[in-house]
Structure 1
Amino acid sequence: MKKRFAASVMILAMSAATVLSPLTAFAETEEQELNIAIFQGGYGDTYWNQMVELFEQSHEGIKVNMTISPTIGDIIRPQIVAGNAPDFICLNDGGEDGVILSLIKEHALLNLNDVFDGENYAGTGTLRDDITDGILESTKCAPYGDDEIYLAPFNSGPQGLIYNKTFFDENNLEVPKTWDEFFALGDTVKEIDGRALFTYQGIYPGYMEEMLWPAIANECGEDALKKIANYEEGSFNNEGVLKALTHIKEIADNGYLLDGTVGMNHTESQTEMMLGKAAFITNGTWMENEMQDAPREDGFEFAMAPIPTENADDVHYVFDSCEQFSIPAAAKNPELAKEFLRFLYSDESVSAFAEASGALYATKSAREVAKDKLSTAIYNMYGIYEEANASSLIMSFAAVPADCKINPKDEIFNPITSVMNDEMTVEEWAQNVEDAFAQVRADMEAAN
């Protein structure tokens, strides 16, 4: 089935080249139909029904046919194979159905550079300038590493250091920008009321990616993450990565880690932090909803800070998640699909999505546009993008062969417990990951 799908996609992509044309005044056509395929996740369908209605109302003569389902990938796969690809897709490249990954592999998605270099829906500037810094350049949007955009960002979810804004305000504390300031704050908060500097979701150390990837990007540059994501030799055991790993180990070595952290689960450590036992915890915007019934210290108010850097004026990377939109190269109405994409970044759309989901589009203005639709906690946490020199950072690994026994994320994050317990050095940590990467490369070579 995979070979048949791939071959069909290649044929569709080639045939599409003969029908694609420059941007035209699509409205000149009396009647047009737009076929869209939407993954229905936790946000439900309210927002999408609104967008279909609003788009049809504002574009006379346009009929939008929407298919929305939790299994949309399985629905559209045979359609694509049969030469009936939807015009617009809302589905992530990480979906288990593998549809978007197959389209990427076969170069069967439409290049979207003209959409982002063109005017935004309001006509106030380019759409590219509206998108949160760092996202369009990521492999989530430019999958071939050449800055050519084939997937458009949907919503974004920043992750970083969660803290109690009230505690910081009442004690006139500055959020640390550098590692030196971070550790100095650890001494300060201990003197104030005995709280630890930091905790994390101990038995689920994967949460620490929210600290590790920005730390490595700060030491080595974003390109270093691309090498790690592709399991390149030497990508994880080098001077810069070792420096980032050392900062993490210093949290425990210097007494800044909340006692008992490594044995806690996510809700336990998050509750301890909210009760004032630790100043920071790594997490994302979902923590407010997840912990809505948890006890907390008086006046607790969520806020989020970027991971510290070596120097205050360095880029402060914000680990991010990002869902995606795409237009197949074989779309029958690509220009109308592009117009629909532009429309989705409009203020009206951004506000409606925030109201329906409590989340925000990956645009710089979304936080203020949808302010009245957001809780105070979510509004505060999305403020991380407005920190000086903040830039979104997305990390995703290349797929390993089906018979490969290595889980890259487990190899990277599971050792954190041993590192924090002083049972493993950072050098051993780095070399163990390198050994795992070597096995992945060997399995990839064997699979080819």
Structure 2
Amino acid sequence: MSSFSADWSRRNFLRGALATGALVLPGTGFLAGCATSGGGQEQTEGEKSADNPLGVPTDQPLEVYIFNGGFGDKYATDVHEPMYKKKYPDAEIKHKAEVDIAGALQSRFVGGNPPDFVNDSGDGQIPLGQLVSDDQLYDLTDLFNAPSWDDPAKKVRDTLVPGAVEQGTFGDKPYVMHMALTVFGLWYNKTLFDDKGWAAPKTWQDMLDLSKDIKAAGIAPWAYPGVHSRYMTWALLTMAAKLAGPDILKDVDNLKEGAWQHEAIKESANALLGLRQAGYFLSGTEGMDHIQAQNAWSAGKAAFVPCGSWLESEQKDATPEGFEIAFAPEPLLSDDSALPFEALHASPGEPYIVPKQAKNPRGGLEYMRIMLSKEGAKGFTEQVSSLSVVQGSADGVKLPVGLTSASAALTAAGDNVVNWMYNTWYGKMWNPGINTQMGDLLGGRKSVDEFCAGMEAEAKAVRDDDSITKYTR
């Protein structure tokens, strides 16, 4: 976790100092007043027309901040920004790529001078729930209700996959636009598995039997990023939901008392802990970050790694020739599970926001509308090797082998797709919360009951904190 994330949580910059309307700006001795509530909408909105339904000021600069992580920033510089510039040639685009978004933008949010568009992602992500609670995000309702870029008869929201708008909604308003459609599960080298005669396991007993054979072949069955142990909660909650049904995920999201002590979550946690107890984790994985664990996997030191479908893009420079990346849903914990093996966790992800106090928020909305066009979404998929939330955006696109595998699994899952929101709504519960608790479980420092009790305590802390806005689904 970045130093800013911890600092943000401790001092509540935007709930405390900023809300008072006066603070000392970093590096100065002067007090700065909080920008007017509502940002610059009234001052920056241009004339609306059929060609400009969002009222974009056509000659006003647009400042764009992109998280320079696994997706890089070429999709912005090579696809979306040229599209914006073509439509608004008099508008200067100021582009910046940053690894630590919070560290780069902390003082600007505090000072009431944020950029117009932010890709708020990565370990230095500014907690989205905190930004919403502090009234720092621009309402995206106008964007989703606007005519789509390609078909004026169709609203933007109607061009997106189900759940895309809801994933960024807090209460009754959407504040976050998620671009990537991420499929989560287990990844393996199909070339290796075919050579060894191994098959991706469909039940947990299959996993244990296969892991025994994998270990006998001199390969660790699993690698995971111990520094970011929260990655393993994707498997934990997906397997629990398959066993007992998706309503347990609603209980987790709704902070229901006892949700984390459900028997299905305990059984799932016990299965994952059993991998450690059997010696099926790669030696040293507990101290690895996601890149180190994934690189070890790419090097053939481990058979499985848990991740989202951005993995292939993130690992493109480390994946050797002949390594065929393939996707598998998590195995069933029981033959009488509530959901089939094909069920999986898929979620709109990679968050983009328009700060409420931006100088050109309507330009920020228009930039999002461009991203959600067919051309913008197709360019995104081609540049970053990720599915997008725009329906049909991958049609005609030659997807890499791993993404093809994940896309096929998503099709096979049909309606059996599970999701949760607690990590978006309550940032501290996700990190450091479950990250620490999961690390202690997989590191053997906590039993399953202690892990579940620890997560109950994390949920209770949020539930009992009146300063945190609560959401339900």
User: TM-score w.r.t. structure 2 length?
Assistant: 0.68
1:40 to 61, 66, 78: 66
Question: Are 2:109 and 1:77 equivalent residues in the alignment?
Answer: yes
1:111 to 120, 132, 139: 139
Residues 258 and 338 of structure 1: CA distance in aligned 2, closer, same or farther (over 3 Å): closer
**Contact 1:73–1:99 under 8 Å retained in 2:** no
Residues 116 and 199 of structure 1: CA distance in aligned 2, closer, same or farther (over 3 Å): same
**Contact 1:161–1:281 under 8 Å retained in 2:** yes
1:5 to 18, 25, 37: 18
Partner of 1:324: 351
In 2: Cα distance, 1:242 partner to 1:50 partner: 46
1:146-295 alignment to 2 at 5 Å?
146=172, 148-167=173-192, 175-176=200-201, 180=203, 182-184=204-206, 186-187=208-209, 194=216, 198-201=221-224, 203-204=226-227, 205-219=229-243, 224-225=248-249, 228=252, 233-251=257-275, 257=280, 260=283, 265=288, 270=294, 273=297, 279-285=303-309, 287-288=311-312
| Residues 404-437 of structure 1: CA deviation (Å, up to 9, x unaligned) | xx93124421223355xxx754223312333455
Cα offset, 1:321, TM superposition: 7.4
In 2: Cα distance, 1:212 partner to 1:189 partner: 18
1:301 to 324, 331, 338: 324
Question: Are 2:372 and 1:345 equivalent residues in the alignment?
Answer: yes
Cα offset, 1:149, TM superposition: 1.7
What secondary structure sits across from 1:63 in the alignment? coil
**Contact 1:34–1:337 under 8 Å retained in 2:** no
Question: Are 2:432 and 1:432 equivalent residues in the alignment?
Answer: no
In 2: Cα distance, 1:114 partner to 1:215 partner: 38
**Contact 1:214–1:319 under 8 Å retained in 2:** no
| Residues 134-178 of structure 1: CA deviation (Å, up to 9, x unaligned) | 44323xx1123x4x32211133544320012235556887655x5
What secondary structure sits across from 2:105 in the alignment? helix
Cα offset, 1:302, TM superposition: 0.3
Matching residue's letter, 2:18: F
Worse-matched range after superposition: 27-36 or 377-386: 27-36
Matching residue's letter, 1:429: F
In 1: Cα distance, 2:146 partner to 2:272 partner: 43
| Residues 93-144 of structure 1: CA deviation (Å, up to 9, x unaligned) | 7785849656512445443345335553222855435434444323xx1123
In 2: Cα distance, 1:36 partner to 1:79 partner: 18
Matching residue's letter, 1:73: L
What secondary structure sits across from 2:344 in the alignment? strand
Question: Are 2:129 and 1:92 equivalent residues in the alignment?
Answer: no
Cα offset, 1:199, TM superposition: 0.9
* Percent identity over paired residues: 19
Q: Which runs of 5+ in 2 are unaligned?
A: 1-12, 22-33
**Contact 1:206–1:413 under 8 Å retained in 2:** yes
Cα offset, 1:39, TM superposition: 1.5
Matching residue's letter, 1:5: L
Worse-matched range after superposition: 22-31 or 67-76: 22-31
Matching residue's letter, 1:159: F
Residues 290 and 40 of structure 1: CA distance in aligned 2, closer, same or farther (over 3 Å): closer
Count of residues in Structure 1 that have an aligned counterpart in Structure 2: 423
In 1: Cα distance, 2:46 partner to 2:57 partner: 18
Partner of 1:386: 411
| Residues 67-109 of structure 1: CA deviation (Å, up to 9, x unaligned) | 333366257536746xxx76x4123277858496565124454
In 2: Cα distance, 1:125 partner to 1:398 partner: 33
What secondary structure sits across from 2:331 in the alignment? coil
RMSD: 4.8
In 2: Cα distance, 1:271 partner to 1:113 partner: 41
Matching residue's letter, 2:191: T
Partner of 2:24: none
| Residues 28-48 of structure 1: CA deviation (Å, up to 9, x unaligned) | 999723543322332246733
Residues 393 and 37 of structure 1: CA distance in aligned 2, closer, same or farther (over 3 Å): farther
In 2: Cα distance, 1:78 partner to 1:425 partner: 42
Matching residue's letter, 1:323: E
**Contact 2:57–2:362 under 8 Å retained in 1:** no
**Contact 2:346–2:418 under 8 Å retained in 1:** yes
Cα offset, 1:13, TM superposition: 2.1
What secondary structure sits across from 1:37 in the alignment? strand
Residues 315 and 326 of structure 1: CA distance in aligned 2, closer, same or farther (over 3 Å): farther
Cα offset, 1:379, TM superposition: 4.5
Matching residue's letter, 2:352: F
| Residues 2-60 of structure 1: CA deviation (Å, up to 9, x unaligned) | 44633667842299589989974354999723543322332246733653332332x3x
In 2: Cα distance, 1:410 partner to 1:227 partner: 19
Question: Are 2:90 and 1:63 equivalent residues in the alignment?
Answer: yes
What secondary structure sits across from 1:236 in the alignment? helix
Partner of 2:392: 365
Matching residue's letter, 2:62: I
Residues 237 and 353 of structure 1: CA distance in aligned 2, closer, same or farther (over 3 Å): same
**Contact 2:60–2:91 under 8 Å retained in 1:** yes
Cα offset, 1:262, TM superposition: 6.3
Residues 36 and 221 of structure 1: CA distance in aligned 2, closer, same or farther (over 3 Å): farther
**Contact 1:258–1:277 under 8 Å retained in 2:** no
User: TM-score w.r.t. structure 1 length?
Assistant: 0.71
Worse-matched range after superposition: 66-75 or 235-244: 66-75
